[in-house]
Structure 1
Amino acid sequence: MTDTAMTDPTAAHARPIADTAPLGELCIRTLAMPADTNQNGDIFGGWLLSQMDIGGGVFASKLAKSRTVTVAIEAMNFRKPVYVGDLVSVHATLIRVGRTSIAVHLEAWVMRRKEKQFILVTDGKFTYVAIDDNGRPREIHQTGLPNPA
């Protein structure tokens, strides 16, 4: 990780590993199960990415007050493995709201069975677009939305 990524506030996808507490709003919490493992017995990265996308979608839909769809996933950082039995929590922080889109910084943290602190395992930037009932992009009314990080 570069020094710029650690100090540049616009590089929200590249937080230092030394963080000890989740940042943002809790969106989803789930338990990593044996059916979610890869050939090495660790939790499959695709499963973790899907949990992050679900949490980000919940967050974006709440802000947009409509359905949202994922249009981009950028700068995923898989920092540490996730193991069977880990409690996985996904936290979201608003980065930016556009006319129809919402950019969100997502973090996945785990609480391991024998640990007493959360561990940052993955983070990244996800972008969602608000859609209407016909699946077309719709404008996001920005009154009352939180200020981006």
Structure 2
Amino acid sequence: MSDVIRYPRGELIIRTQTMPADTNQNGDIFGGWIMSQMDLAGGMLATEIARGRIATVAVEGMTFHKPVKVGDAVCVHGECIRIGNTSMTIHLEVWIKPLLRSDSFERYCVTEGVFTYVAIDDAGQSRVVPKV
């Protein structure tokens, strides 16, 4: 195990708490629920950048490192790593604070991934991302 202290990459976009309804048969939080929180966070950041509607078009390199339990605080951090003509690539990380299982302030990363969003118009067609 590495002694290197790691911190979340990017800004905190969403913080929520896991609930029993989001568990699988083993009592762990569904990976799909975690992924949906990531997509919500990435979509919020992409909407700000695009200044309007967006659509998720790809998810790359997602790996789950540890399970998430009921009662954990789920913090999704993200940063835009690329803006193209019509698309945005956003790196997202999910960090956990085990609220019900620890007396410490330990936080750890449980998954990360790269999400790609496309700016769309009212007809659902791609459009140019405004320049900053």
TM-score by length of 2: 0.92
Q: For 1:1-149, what aligned pairs fall within 5 Å after superposition?
A: 18-113=4-99, 114=102, 115-143=104-132
From the superposition, tell whether residues 28 and 70 of structure 1 become closer, same or farther in structure 2 (CA, over 3 Å): same
The 8 Å contact of residues 93 and 105 in structure 1, kept in 2 or not, is answered as yes
Unmatched runs of 5 consecutive residues or more in structure 2:
none
Unmatched runs of 5 consecutive residues or more in structure 1:
1-15, 144-149
CA distance in 2, matches of 1:70, 1:19: 32
Say what the alpha-carbon RMSD is for the aligned residues: 1.6
TM-score by length of 1: 0.82
From the superposition, tell whether residues 136 and 36 of structure 1 become closer, same or farther in structure 2 (CA, over 3 Å): same
Segments of 4+ moved more than 6 angstroms: none
